[in-house]
Amino acid sequence: MFDEQSQWLSLDTSARISLTELADCCGLTAAELDELVYYNALTPLDGVAPERVFSAHWVVPLRKVAKMRLDYDLDLFTVAMMLGQLDRIAQLEQQVQSLQALLPVQQRARHHE
């Protein structure tokens, strides 16, 4: 067993990640990520850095679509379309969670029945 004082990177909008590292995380090439940017499926952060920088929140959905691409042998344009849909689903799930947090306990119980 290791005793690890972890150095976690939170994969949310508060963290930034370079194009090279994003590609490494997701198993996609830099050229493929560029193509996703070209399709407006992926948006780099504004800035003047020599290398493109992205919000780290892209890591998880990109890993997911990259896996589905391998699993189902999808082309990159399909991956771009799915990335948008997954992002939309994640937003809607978050909205549901937010609304559930506001529901009184009794109504939440009924909602889950």
Partner 1 sequence: MKYKDYYAILGVPRSASLDDIKKAYRKLARTYHPDVSKSPDAEARFKEAAEAYATLKDATKRAAYDELGHPATGAEFRPPPQWQQDFAPGGASFEDIDLADLLAAMGRGQTGGAGNGRGQAMPIKGRDFETSVTLTLEDARRGTSVNLTLADAQGERTLQVTIPPGVCQDQKLRLRGKGGKGHQGGPDGDIYLHINLALHAVFRPDHHDLYFDLLLAPWEAALGAEVQVPTLDGAVLLSVPAGTRAGRKLRLRGRGLAADRSDLYAIVHIDVPATLTQRERELYQEMAKVSRFNPRADGFKEKAHV
Residues in the chain: 113
Shortest Å, Cβ 90 to partner 1: 8
3 state SS of 17 = strand
Fill in the DSSP letter of residue 57: G
Residue 46 or 113: the one with the smaller Cβ distance to partner 1 is 113
- Contacts with partner 1 by CB under 8 A lie at 1-12, 25, 56, 59-60, 63, 70-73, 93-94, 97-98, 100-105, 108
CB 57 within 8 A of CB 51: no
Least distance CB 48 / partner 1 (angstroms) = 26
Question: Which C-beta is closer to partner 1: that of 6 or that of 40?
Answer: 6
In the bound complex, what is the minimum distance in angstroms from residue 68's beta carbon to partner 1? 9
Nearest-approach distance from CB 81 to partner 1, in angstroms: 18
- 26 residue type, one letter: C
Residue closer to partner 1 by CB (options 40, 97) is 97
Helix 76-102 / helix 30-38 crossing angle, nearest 10 deg: 70
What's at 55, amino acid-wise?
A: S
CA distance 101 to 109: 12
Cβ proximity to partner 1: between 4 and 48 the closer is: 4
